[in-house]
Amino acid sequence: MTYRVRNIVIAVGLALMAMLLTLLYVTNYRKSVQHSAQTVRVYVVSRDIAAGTPGIDIVSHNDLKAVSVQRRDAVPGAIANLSTIQTLVVADPLYTGEQVTLRHFRDVAAQGIPGQLKAKFRAVQIAGDPNQLLAGTLQPGDHVDLVGNIHATGSMQSNASRIVLRDLTVLSVPTTSAASKLSSSSSNTSTSAILQVTDIQVQRLFYVMKNADWTLELRPAVGAKDSPERVETADSILTGGVRK
């Protein structure tokens, strides 16, 4: 093969390679355009939503509506299935017409105690001695009753004991190390726990904290039942069960 023929072969080979690369580029570009032109389903906000709103409430109230947009117009991370937000809460305010992405949400646990409260429920921290608060035994998630010994005044010059509130959820207790130190120290040492109560129960709770002796009693974790309500006084205790 002469020098001239070899150069012609090389030139033809390079031309063919250039044509092949151009063809591949055009083909991939066409596929990319077609792909971005496809429609996908996303969700947009139908009304303004405040930060802290649970995802399950958003879904149940139909605060999001599904729309179809071209793929290139979908915001990165846009949700396509409402089930992905049902266990989350809104991290930042959402505004009408905005595409919803997972970045707008965070896990409920990240909110701590506020994330556990809904509707009429509130969190109240109560202080007491280790015996009253079952220090070292009580754990978050436990359920307790509040027992009070009310110091009656006025025309009722006697004390009365009863279960004042039932089935309160424990939201927080001292850490294990703190509880262990408290349980080994004097019963006069103060500790605290955070309970979940309704906005009405808190009134009765506050009254007992300020005007009565009290303690918490731990309820069974499974199958708890309540006996009929009753009030105990000195007379009922002294005469109860006594045959006449």
User: Residue 106: what pLDDT?
Assistant: 83
**Helix (H), strand (E) at residue 169:** strand 159-172
For residue 159, which phi and psi values (nearest 5 degrees)? -90, 155
C-beta of residue 57 within 8 angstroms of C-beta of residue 104: no
User: Residue 144: what pLDDT?
Assistant: 95
* Maximum CA extent, the chain: 135
Quickly tell me which residue has 């409920």 as its tokens: 108
Task: Tell me: pLDDT of 218 over 90.
Answer: yes
pLDDT tens for 123-181 read: 999 999 999 999 989 999 899 999 999 887 665 567 889 999 999 999 988 764 455 55
Cα 229 to its chain centre, rounded Å, is 33
**pTM above threshold 0.85:** no
Q: What is the C-alpha separation between 154 and 125, in angstroms, rounded?
A: 30
Of 72 and 46, which is predicted with more confidence? 46
Name the average pLDDT for the chain. Answer: 81
The full set of domain ranges for the chain reads 39-111, 115-221+231-239
Beta-ladder partners of 162: 148
Q: How far is CA 169 from CA 40, 45, 182, in A?
A: 44, 34, 22
- 86: helix, strand or coil: coil
Q: What is the C-alpha separation between 239 and 244, in angstroms, rounded?
A: 9
Give the CATH fold of the 39-111 domain: Type Iii Antifreeze Protein Isoform Hplc 12 (3.90.1210)
Q: What is the C-alpha separation between 55 and 105, in angstroms, rounded?
A: 8
pLDDT tens for 186-206 read: 555 789 999 999 999 999 999
For residue 180, which phi and psi values (nearest 5 degrees)? -65, -35
